[in-house]
Amino acid sequence: MPLAALIAALLTATGASGLLSGCATAGRARIAAQWYELGDAWLDKGDWKKAGRAYSHALQLEPGMSAASFNMARALTEAGDYRAALRMLDALSAKDPGNLRVLSARAYVFYKEGDATAALKAYDAVVALDPYAPDAVYNSALLRFAAGQAKRAAADLRRLLAYKPDDTQSLLLLARIEESLGDDAAAVDAYEKLKLLGKADAFALEHLGLLYEKGRRYADAMAALDAATKADPKRSGAWFALARLRLVVADDGPGGLDALKRALDAGFSDKKAAEALMAEPGLPELEKIAALLKGKGLIP
């Protein structure tokens, strides 16, 4: 039912005197379901307060409506009322201790609240019940990575990806973690899988290009960096890396200058990288490069 029509129906059903104080059980259940539907509509629109009020009306009519309690907890979480959200979720968990959706929602509340320790513990409880729950494994790996437990995070993601190889968010996180651990081959493998799935964004393509460059796969590096700049023309680091490769490896003065201009226009500001470029022997278009870099204050 359209949102306006649903609101009108509820106003008619509840009347001027308030919330169905004398209606029959079947009528209460029907109107509760309509309030629940209205809550979902507001939830989809991101209006957490209106969603919460609608779910509250539903629960006044049908206190045992678990779906309304769960979604109200979601609305409270997004509205920043974390304690109230946890109270509702704890009550639901007491009724159904193994409910993964409820446990995951509790973990998310802790994450939103900024309690990484409690969030990780809560996500671990989900993973203990379902080792292949994608969101829980991903979120726990993200928290472990931030806490300096990169190797454990990578191992958890690899286990998940063996079961669900097309989980793109986990592939991207694994690539980042492998790169931080210095395992370039594993990072390249993860980025390449993302590319094969058609899910490599500008970040992934840029990092893949830089890893190709480290491995002296220069043609592949330029192709990946070019793709990164097409995916996001404001990716200044990708433009600069592409300029460096065109100038230093491909001896492509015009192409290198064009990429360098685009890097600077996009806000590239790494003075050390600029100085390193100027130190490259036999650099084509040296005077033009120097003028561009001086114009942006990147070299003296």
Residue 261 in domain: yes
CATH at residue 1: 1.25.40.10
Instruction: State what percent of residues in the chain have pLDDT above 70.
Output: 91
For residue 54, being part of any structural domain is answered with yes
pLDDT the model gives residue 21: 46
Domain count, the chain: 2
214, HSE (Cβ side, Cα atoms, 13 Å): 13
> Which amino acid is located at 22 in the chain?
G
CA-based nearest residue to 266, from 223, 300, 213, 228: 228
> Going by C-beta distance under 8 Å and a sequence separation of 6 or more, which residues neighbour residue 50?
42
Against a cut of 0.95, is the pTM above it? no
Task: Give CA–CA dist 134/169, Å, rounded.
Answer: 9
On whether residue 198 sits in a domain, the answer given is no
Domain assignment present for 208? no
Torsions phi, psi for 126 (to 5 deg): -65, -45
Q: Tokens 């002296």 — which residue? A: 216
- Is residue 173 domain-resident? no
Q: Which residue, of 92, 112, 133, is where some domain finishes?
A: 92
What pLDDT is stored for residue 16 in this prediction?
37
Tell me what pLDDT residue 28 has: 82
Within a domain: 279:
yes
Q: What are the pLDDT digits (tens) for 210-246?
A: 999 999 999 999 999 999 999 999 999 999 999 999 9
What pLDDT shows up at residue 29? Answer: 84
pLDDT in tens, the chain (300 residues): 554 444 444 544 454 334 444 444 667 888 888 898 988 898 899 999 998 898 888 899 889 899 999 999 999 999 999 999 999 999 999 999 999 999 999 999 999 999 999 999 999 999 999 999 999 999 999 999 999 999 999 999 999 999 999 999 999 999 999 999 999 999 999 999 999 999 999 999 999 999 999 999 999 999 999 999 999 999 999 999 999 999 999 999 999 999 999 999 999 999 999 999 999 999 999 999 999 999 999 999
Last residue of a domain, one of 92, 126, 145: 92
State which residues form the domain around 258. 225-300
Q: Among 27, 62, 92, where does a domain finish?
A: 92
DSSP 45-103: HT-HHHHHHHHHHHHHH-TT-HHHHHHHHHHHHHTT-HHHHHHHHHHHHHH-TT-HHHH
Is 127 inside any structural domain? no
In a domain, 136, yes or no: no
Q: Is the Cβ–Cβ distance between 104 and 112 less than 8 Å?
A: no
CB 247 within 8 A of CB 256: yes
Tens digit of pLDDT for each residue in 33-47?
Answer: 889 898 889 889 999
